[in-house]
């Protein structure tokens, strides 16, 4: 049986006894799974294992508890939803945790995957209550990933290419390398303006480039269409055999708020072009030196057609 958020949602809705009752999930899996209500309103995902389960720390969104059953000495681990406003994403979370740990051959490996995935979800729900990146964030991430993929393909060191992706850690620019820094902006195919969200983004004395990625939603059948998960998978393939680079890449993705959910495979995108502009001393930009000291933050827009004098290639 295939487990989807929709199927779990239907099973929860079918439970009439909301005072501690559970239904077993019909799925082939190293672990035994149940869904139900821990109390009259708190939805809960519960697993049963024959091996001991260590302590798992609860989060602001979920209360996690473990116990050993006296009836058969098996262990249970439950994930209880605490925030009612996250009920819609909880089914996505539960489905993802189950499916993500389904392919391994034993309970120990499955438990490790379950706990690691739970920790990823906990971090994600702290920053994004919906559990899913909004469209603006998705397209922004896609633009950076396309740039990173190209950099890996042309670099002598995949590790250096991934380490240079510093925007995921909150740096002022998205990428920095020996040959300069790069700020990547994603806009639509017909966009004429691009937003610069802070003074610091283009305020750097070293050589840099403003890179414009023109990306739009498209039909799945369009030649060259790809999803967010597709480009993540492509980079993982590029990093095959580069374990250090792959670990850093996955860590940076998690910092960005990305988890490989099925929802990120459904929407397809198309990149219609890329533009690069040299950000030198004459480039039109706001800097700390040019802005009065009393102004501590600002956002401004650049008109792309007017930047031809700085366009590369």
The CATH number that applies at residue 71 is 3.30.1460
76 and 206: one domain? no
Residue at a domain's end among 94, 127, 160:
127
At residue 309, the pLDDT reads 95
pLDDT tens per residue across span 200-215: 999 988 999 999 999 9
pLDDT tens per residue across span 256-297: 878 777 789 999 999 999 999 999 999 999 988 888 888 888
DSSP string, the chain: ----HHHHHHHHHH---TTT-EEE-----SSEEEEEESSSS-EEEEEEESS--------SSEEEEEEE-TTT--EEEEEEE--GGGHHHHHHHHHHHHHHTSSSSSHHHHHHHHHHHHHHHHHHHHH-TTSS--HHHHHHHHHHHHHHHHHHHH-S-HHHHHHTB-GGGT-SSSEEETTEEEEEEEE-TT--EEEE--SGGG--SS-EEEEEEEEEEE-TTSTT-B-HHHHHHHHHHHTTT-HHHHHHHHHHHHHHT----THHHHSEEEEEEEEEEEE-TTS----TTTS-TT-----EEEEGGGGGGGB--
Residue at a domain's end among 127, 158, 191:
127
* Residues 298-306, mean pLDDT to the nearest whole number: 95
pLDDT tens per residue across span 98-117: 988 988 989 999 999 999 88
108 and 162: one domain? no
At residue 3, the pLDDT reads 78
109 and 151: one domain? no
Number of structural domains the chain divides into: 2
Please report, rounded to a whole number, the percentage of residues in the chain having pLDDT higher than 70: 96
179 and 224: one domain? yes
> Which residue segment(s) compose the domain that 247 sits in?
135-310
163 and 249: one domain? yes
Residue at a domain's end among 127, 146, 176:
127
pLDDT tier at 303 (50, 70, 90 boundaries)?
Answer: very high
- Looking at 27-41, 72-86, 115-129, 258-272, which range is the least confident one? 115-129
120 and 156: one domain? no
Mean pLDDT of the chain: 89
At residue 181, the pLDDT reads 96
Q: Is the pLDDT of residue 164 over 60?
A: yes
Q: Is the pLDDT of residue 130 over 70?
A: no
At residue 21, the pLDDT reads 73
């Amino acid at each position: 049986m295939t487990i989807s958020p929709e199927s779990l949602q239907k099973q929860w809705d079918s439970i009439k006894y909301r005072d501690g009752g559970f239904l077993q999930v019909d799925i082939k899996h190293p672990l035994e799974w149940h869904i139900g209500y821990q109390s009259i309103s708190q939805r809960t995902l519960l697993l049963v294992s024959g091996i001991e389960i260590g302590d798992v720390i609860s989060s602001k969104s979920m209360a996690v508890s473990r116990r050993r059953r006296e009836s058969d000495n098996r262990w249970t681990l439950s994930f209880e939803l605490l925030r009612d406003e996250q009920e819609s994403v909880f089914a996505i979370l539960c489905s993802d945790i189950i499916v993500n740990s389904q392919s391994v051959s034993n309970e120990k490996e499955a438990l490790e995957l379950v706990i690691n995935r739970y920790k990823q979800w906990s971090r994600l729900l702290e920053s994004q209550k919906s559990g899913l990146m909004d469209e603006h964030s998705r397209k922004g991430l896609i633009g950076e990933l396309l740039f990173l993929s190209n950099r890996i393909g042309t670099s002598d060191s995949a590790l250096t290419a991934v380490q240079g992706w510093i925007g995921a850690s909150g740096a002022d620019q998205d990428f920095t390398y020996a040959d300069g820094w790069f700020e990547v902006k994603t806009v639509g195919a017909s966009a004429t303006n691009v937003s610069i969200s802070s003074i610091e983004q283009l305020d750097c004395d070293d050589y840099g480039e403003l890179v414009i990625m023109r990306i739009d939603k498209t039909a799945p059948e369009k030649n060259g269409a790809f999803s967010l998960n597709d480009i993540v998978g492509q980079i993982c393939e590029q990093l095959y055999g580069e374990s250090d680079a792959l670990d850093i890449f996955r860590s940076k993705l998690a910092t960005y708020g990305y988890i490989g959910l099925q929802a990120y495979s459904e929407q397809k995108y198309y990149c219609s072009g890329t533009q690069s502009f040299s950000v030198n001393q004459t480039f039109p930009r706001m800097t700390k030196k040019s802005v009065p000291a009393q102004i501590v933050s600002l956002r401004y827009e650049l008109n792309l057609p007017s930047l031809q004098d700085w366009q590369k290639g």
